[in-house]
Amino acid sequence: MQIQTTAIGRQAEDIAAEYLKQRGFVVIHHNWRRRDYEIDLIAQKDRVMYFVEVKYRVTDQAGSGIEYITPRKLKQMAYAARRWVSKCSWHGEYALSVVEVSGEAFEVTEFIESIDT
């Protein structure tokens, strides 16, 4: 089951990355991982670095992917972004973002360019 879930997650991330590229973003990293955190996508547009959480749902019966961005998840995202900024010596602006991918056709259904923490 884990392999299937991982493959589905990667497919959703690939769709999200392509969506961002079509909108002028340059994807810097896919699945930037460290022992205690990960960032699905890191993308840059103009002089801003975006730390992107990708949420996939086949249906919205249990809620949309965006609804799964809880205050706790936002805190984790902010922590991971700060760690990347420090490790990579980024001195520019950055934002936390969310791409929701839905359905069996893996369509982007929502994009929040900058989500408040």
pLDDT given at position 84: 95
Q: Say if CB 32 and CB 13 are below 8 A apart.
A: no
pLDDT tens for the 117 residues of the chain, in order: 455 677 888 999 999 999 999 999 999 999 998 888 889 999 999 999 999 999 988 766 555 667 778 899 999 999 999 999 999 999 999 999 999 998 888 999 999 999 875
The tokens describing 106, both together, are 């893996």
pLDDT given at position 46: 94
Alpha carbon 33 to chain centroid, angstroms: 13
- Angle at the Cα of 53 (from 115 to 39), degrees rounded to 5? 120
**Which domains, from first to last, does the chain contain?**
2-112 (3.40.1350.10)
> pTM of whole model > 0.85?
yes
- Angle at the Cα of 95 (from 31 to 32), degrees rounded to 5? 15
